[in-house]
Structure 1
Amino acid sequence: MAFSWLGAPRKDPRDAASLLAELGPGRLLAGASTEELAWAVRKPDRAGLEGAVRCFASEEFTTRHPGHRRVPGTARDLLLRHARSHRPGDLAVLERRLLRTPADRVRRS
């Protein structure tokens, strides 16, 4: 729900409601673990994916989760696919910040 709220388009970005809509989801998501955020990426609509990309591409995500930026492949692929088609400016940032979980890596013997 917070991702959808964060990703919803705003008509007038200078009014108080838009400011609250911009800052509120970040405060709600601040206490969530990376695993919870990654799980929530699987459920949202387009506005939710837009908000999720904004959340994971933000500086707050990196500073809040410096050693816990590993997300499952499904969530990572959804975020990268959405960023590639709708937010190309965030694509390189997401590729650097979203690390794969150890289980997603291919190991060679």
Structure 2
Amino acid sequence: MTNRIIMNSSGVKLSRPGIDVLSASDINLLFNSNYMSIGLFQAGTLSTTTGFTSYWFGLTLPILPLVSMLVEVAAGVWQHSSRAVGSSDKQGLVQYRVYNDRMEVKALSAGYACRYSVWVL
């Protein structure tokens, strides 16, 4: 039987099926607590206006999060618009700024429905 998980004072490691965790290289590990991982912090929907509107996270994060944005460009048609900090999407529909405690979002021409995800390390 293959050893797939190890937990000791140095952390936790989980290997791919069929790979012994005791001799696995990093590429063959599904999880290694020695490295930071990204996690979903917050997700939701919002409607944009032509002025910046603040959407508060509820706490101040130690580092800037990554925000992923989907913009509804037509009924049921969503365009992915993911920019790390303060950029606008490819069609120039929505612009947003990201801070440690909030994001500010606006439509550049008309209001759009958006789905957002906030990711943190």
Higher helix residue share: 1
TM-score bracket, normalised by the shorter chain, equals: under 0.3
- Bigger Rg, structure 1 or 2: 2
Higher strand residue share: 2
Give the TM-score of the pair, scaled to structure 2. 0.24
